Amino acid sequence: MTTKIIKIELPDLSGLYEAAEEIRRGGLVAFPTETVYGLGANALDAEAVQSIFRAKGRPNDNPLIVHVADISMLEKLVTGIRPEARKLIAAYWPGPLTLIFYRAPIVPDEVTAGLDTVAVRMPDHPVALELIKKSNVPVAAPSANRSGRPSPTLACHVAEDLAGRIAYIIDGGPCRVGVESTVLDMTSEVPAILRPGGITPSMIEKVIGTVRLDEGVIGNNCTVKPKSPGMKYTHYAPKGEVIVVSGMPEDVVRWINQKIQQDEKECICSVVITSQEHLSQYGAKDALSFGSVHNPDEVAANIFRLFRECDHIGAEKIYIEAIPKEGIGLAVMNRIEKAAGGRIIQL
Ligand code: TXA
Ligand code: MG
């Protein structure tokens, strides 16, 4: 299959017609959202949804998020919407917040991996919204990467992983947020964050009061079974070994520099992912900047692209400086710790 790339220059969205046609025909279209690129198919077409799993090499037990363009689409997918969910929708949709509801029978098992719940969100991106509207169906879409690879934040990342395996890639430029949406389970009495993302716990609390972090999200406890099936897989990972380093800034820099020198002696290709502020403290060829440590939004927007850059460099070891788990920093550190698979150095 040849993959056609459609470049969209806002505000002209006319290029989306043929891609929407492809969705209606049961085909696969990668498209930009405000978080990461998604790999979309008609959520009500079980065969189309199965082909998402094949293209990504995704395990069948990992359910998909359904993307909607308006509330009437949501209402058809779920059995009911509790008042707290309505409040969150009013506050944060369209936006990087996925809500879990009990599903209506119309939703195929392939989407929910057999669960009695369905995850739904309304993306805050003109291209995504228009694609859903023109398709006139809800669009199931996981991140548009091969399973296990970092989520794509540029169209070229999607092409790297999926060219030849899908019909269309819509290039809408870089994704603004850069990490995937917050997944919030609205079926438990106290809503639970199953995956931290662009909408922070305090933003949720402001609207509905108490919210809790699912045990699978807190710390890096690999023994707790996450409620969100996707969180159990090693994820987002570059090919090299990721080591997260946390502590006083000068200790962190010293520790990493020692490691790099040692690696160099052993002919191991190692890379540091660090803040703009610390960049000059490492050898120029060894270090990549994730932006300012004081600007977690910037770090979020850069982190997955940097993971892919490490692969291009051929990094065998990747040392990453931890950032505070505040605001979207919680989501960034969740992804970094997953990529590290437990290799966390606390100095
Ligand atoms: O920002 C995003 O959410 C992006 C863009 C494309 O919208 N999508 C995305 O999809 O990250 P994906 O498939 O890579 O991650 C979906 C996560 C997985 O961890 C999955 O297990 C969880 O949502 N999930 C989906 N349905 C669920 C359900 N019914 N119950 C619990 N977790 C669910
Ligand atoms: Mg994903």
Interval between CA 307 and ligand 2 midpoint (Å): 14
| Nearest-angstrom CA–CA distance, 342 and 328 | 21
From the CB of 175, is ligand 1 less than 6 Å away?
no
Residue 216: the pLDDT is 76
Ligand 1 probe mutation, 64, 122, 227, most atoms within 8 A of CB? 64
Looking at the CA of residue 119, tell me the nearest atom of ligand 1: 26
Report the atom number in ligand 1 closest to the C-alpha of 98: 3
Cross-strand pairs, 212 = 192
Which of 29, 39, 64, 65 has the most ligand 1 atoms within 8 A of CB, as the residue to mutate? Answer: 65
Verify whether ligand 1 is closer than 6 Å to residue 192 (CB atom).
Answer: no
Nearest CA to ligand 1 atom 33: 228
Prior bond to 63 cis, omega within 30? no
- The residue contributing the CA closest to ligand 1 atom 12 is 142
Is any ligand 1 atom within 6 A of the Cβ of residue 331?
no
Environment of ion ligand 2 (residues, CB < 5 A): 143
Ligand 1 pocket, residue 177 CB under 6 Å? no
Residues 6 or more apart in contact with residue 323 via CB below 8 angstroms: 275, 290, 293, 296, 299, 329, 332, 333
| Cβ atoms of 103 and 117 closer than 8 Å | yes
Cα(111) to ligand 2 centroid in Å equals 14
Give residue 257 CA to ligand 1 midpoint distance, Å. 37
Q: What pLDDT does 221 receive? A: 46
- Amino acid in the structure at residue 232: K
Is 36 touching ligand 1 by the criterion CB < 6 Å? yes
Predicted pLDDT of residue 19 = 98
Amino acid 342: pLDDT: 85
Nearest to 234 by CA among 325, 123, 147: 147
Please report which helix (H) or strand (E) contains residue 156, including its range. helix 155-162
Amino acid 223: pLDDT: 47
Ligand 1 close to Cβ of residue 62 (< 6 A): yes
pLDDT for position 230: 59
97-102 and 182-185 strand pairing:
parallel
10-residue stretch averages of pLDDT, the chain, 347 residues long: 96 96 98 98 98 95 97 98 98 98 98 97 98 98 96 98 98 98 97 97 96 78 55 73 96 96 95 96 88 96 97 96 96 95 93
Which pLDDT score is estimated for 222?
44
- In short, whether 118's Cβ falls inside 6 Å of ligand 1 is yes
